[in-house]
Amino acid sequence: MAVRLDDLPLRDDLRGLTPYGAPQATVPVALNVNENTHPVPEAVADDILDGLAHALREINRYPDREFTVLREGFAEYLGHGLTREQIWAANGSNEVLQHLLQAFAGPGRTAFGFAPTYSMYPLLTRATGASYVAGTREADFTLDASDAAQQIDSADPDVVFLCAPNNPTGTPLRLDVIEAVYEASRGMVIVDEAYQEFAPRDERSALTLLPGRERLVVSRTMSKAFAFAGARVGYLAADPAVIDALRLVRLPYHMSALTQAAASAALRHAPAMLSMVDDIVSQRDRISATLSALGYEPHVSWTNFVCFGGVDDPAATWQGLYDRGILIRDVGLPHSLRVTAGTESESTAFLDALASLRA
Ligand SMILES: *Cc1c(COP(=O)(O)O)cnc(C)c1O
């Protein structure tokens, strides 16, 4: 008989948990995990290959443990006067968040997020042995500064997650909310800016709040705007003391030489890598407008996806789209679904299929 999890001497606090499991089905139009569906430009791919070839010649050696060149690249890309001492990176921002939780959460401690938000926060938290507390949002998924501060005050968490803009709803987060939450907390405040590049250009990033706030962390990823999800590269900016804390928990040489080389090459081509962002934003806005015209209720989005309400039977609609070769996401919100903005033809395929289901 097959061995079951219950047969193993598994940690008690992991019993009954379910792993992250967005479907990875092979379909013509996959718009379910907010990837950038545009391929890496040919010229950039060539440069990345050169970087990989170079790194391969020294692959017998351990990589630069401090991934210095890559951190310099991120500091330059982020701007705001940041230096490499304020930068950390890991294999996806999920690992960056894991490092933060390993250093600042763990057994007996608490992490907090305002639900609905990124589904990985509770999973990552519990895997470090900490407990997770879910706060609440306004009906339109925004956060009010004084209400958010009050929730933090009563929960008194060691780590706060602020997803800005928020996944799965797309909701922007005002900087005054971040300031209020920071003031109300004694713990680390992590602003997850995974989708920041899709926000309006003139909007300020939480990076502008870093000076004088040593418990504030701003995390980013190359998985979304940079079209680099398969490479697994995430990073953060914070006080150099925070970086010292993360060195205590990372595995030695956690960034492979190949990852460092590929990410550094991609960063040198940041403008080309990000050239699809404007197109994705215009597809996102077209999707929202068309959803409204079809009678759905799209939520305001500053991301590369649209969360929409007004779906009578989300499971049936999801299945109907899937049967037409289009994969989107049922994020578990009542009468709602979430779709990633793809290329123009992918977005059209989604909208046409949805309209045909509605007919
Ligand atoms: C996609 C996403 C990430 C990125 O994860 P990676 O591990 O960098 O691929 C982080 N936070 C949120 C909210 C996301 O939606």
Taking the model in full, what pTM does it have? Answer: 0.96
What is the per-residue pLDDT for 358?
81
Q: Is the CB of 167 under 6 A from ligand 1?
A: yes
Q: Is the CB of 221 under 6 A from ligand 1?
A: yes
Structure confidence by residue, pLDDT tens digits, 171-207: 999 999 999 999 999 999 999 999 999 999 999 999 9
Architecture of domain 42-269: 3-Layer(aba) Sandwich (3.40)
What is the per-residue pLDDT for 19?
86
CA 110 to chain centre: 21
C-alpha 49 to ligand 1 mean position (Å): 25
C-alpha 100 to ligand 1 mean position (Å): 14
**What is the residue with the minimal CA distance to atom 4 of ligand 1?**
93
Q: Are strands 159-163 and 188-192 parallel, antiparallel or unpaired?
A: parallel
Residue pair 321/337 in contact by the 8 Å Cβ criterion? no
Architecture of domain 22-38+276-358: Alpha-Beta Complex (3.90)
Domain with CATH 3.90.1150.10 in the chain: 22-38+276-358
What is the per-residue pLDDT for 23?
75
Domain with CATH 3.40.640.10 in the chain: 42-269
Q: Which atom of ligand 1 has the smallest separation from the CA of 233? A: 8
Question: Which residue numbers in the chain have pLDDT < 50?
Answer: none
What is the per-residue pLDDT for 120?
95
Q: Which of 167, 193, 222, when mutated, tests ligand 1's pocket best, judged by the most ligand atoms within 8 Å of its CB? A: 167
| Residue 30 bridge partners (DSSP) | 327
CB atoms within 10 A of CB 322: 16
**Residue 96 Cα distances to 75, 87, 122, 266, 291, angstroms:** 16, 11, 15, 19, 35
Residue pair 122/132 in contact by the 8 Å Cβ criterion? yes
Q: Count of alpha carbons within 13 Å of 95, Cβ hemisphere only?
A: 18
C-alpha 124 to ligand 1 mean position (Å): 12
Structure confidence by residue, pLDDT tens digits, 230-259: 999 999 999 999 999 999 999 999 999 999
Q: Is the CB of 94 under 6 A from ligand 1?
A: yes
What is the per-residue pLDDT for 287?
98
Q: Count of alpha carbons within 13 Å of 124, Cβ hemisphere only?
A: 24
Q: Which atom of ligand 1 has the smallest separation from the CA of 117? A: 13
CA dist., res. 329 & res. 337, Å (int): 6
